[in-house]
């Protein structure tokens, strides 16, 4: 059983690698954004609280996020670890997390800015079903039409180069103190680099697994 946190800028491939690590290791992927969306859909008491903040464009307060996380982690079967994606985002959240779980390692994705810009500015999403395409390496069969449901594809407003650059800057400013926090605590790091646009996800996943094996965590 291993408990991990994955850090990486928007477009670094966190979700892609997390889904592949899930199938290779005995892990539950804990993506706070997905949990919030699920709770809102199910209209649980906490979900309704979260909905209020989300609908008003506000950040969900730390105490509610932590309560959501506690409830979710409690449901993970014994002997199964987790991979946290999207939490913690602040030192306060990291300290709160320390009280409810032991983190065995941090996975740090290091991806060149130009690769992230190329990836995200080429992303297209189906308006109907939310399927994700990429005009570089995951094109739809028909131009701007979803293969799954025939819906129209669109580009998110924040998937343009100028906005992507700002998103990377915000991420780095926000995450640097967290990386330092975990280094100071002596939590081991597994760093996975992606320096080529065409690097297959499996190559990066293998690098992460080898790093975890070196630490004798898997």
The strand pairing partners of 154, in sequence order, are 125
- The pLDDT value recorded for residue 40 is 87
- The pLDDT value recorded for residue 47 is 87
- The pLDDT value recorded for residue 143 is 94
Contacts of 95 (CB under 8 A, 6+ apart): none
In the chain, where the domains are located: 3-111+169-214
> Which residue, chain included where needed, has tokens 């941090």?
106
- The pLDDT value recorded for residue 6 is 96
Q: What is the pTM of this model?
A: 0.86
CATH fold of 3-111+169-214: Rossmann fold (3.40.50)
- The pLDDT value recorded for residue 130 is 87
d(CA 209, CA 217): 9
Spans of the chain, pLDDT less than 70: none
Residues involved in catalysis: 14, 89, 123, 156, 167
Residue 7's φ and ψ, nearest 5 degrees, are: -115, 135
Nearest to 29 by CA among 82, 89, 107, 70: 82
Torsion angle of alpha carbons 151, 33, 200, 155, nearest 10°? 40
Q: Please state whether beta strands 123-126 and 153-154 pair in parallel, antiparallel, or not at all (unpaired).
A: antiparallel
């Amino acid at each position: 059983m291993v408990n991990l946190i994955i850090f990486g800028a928007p477009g670094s491939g966190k979700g892609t690698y997390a889904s592949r690590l899930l199938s290779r290791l005995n892990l539950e992927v804990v993506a706070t954004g997905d949990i919030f969306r699920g709770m809102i859909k199910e209209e649980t008491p906490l979900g309704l609280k979260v909905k209020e903040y989300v609908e008003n464009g506000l950040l969900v307060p730390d105490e509610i996020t932590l309560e959501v996380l506690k409830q979710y982690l409690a449901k993970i079967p014994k002997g199964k670890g987790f991979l946290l994606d999207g939490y913690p985002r602040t030192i306060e959240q990291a300290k709160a997390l320390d009280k409810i779980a032991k983190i065995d390692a941090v996975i740090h994705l290091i991806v060149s800015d130009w690769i992230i810009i190329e990836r995200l500015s080429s992303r297209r999403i189906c308006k109907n079903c939310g399927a994700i395409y990429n005009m570089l390496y995951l094109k739809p069969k028909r131009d701007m039409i979803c293969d799954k449901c025939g819906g129209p594809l669109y580009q998110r407003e924040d998937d343009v180069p100028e906005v992507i650059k700002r998103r990377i800057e915000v991420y780095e400013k926000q995450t640097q103190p967290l990386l330092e926090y975990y280094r100071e605590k002596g939590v081991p790091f597994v760093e996975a680099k992606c320096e080529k646009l065409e690097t297959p996800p499996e190559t990066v996943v293998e690098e992460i697994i080898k790093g975890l094996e070196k630490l004798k965590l898997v």
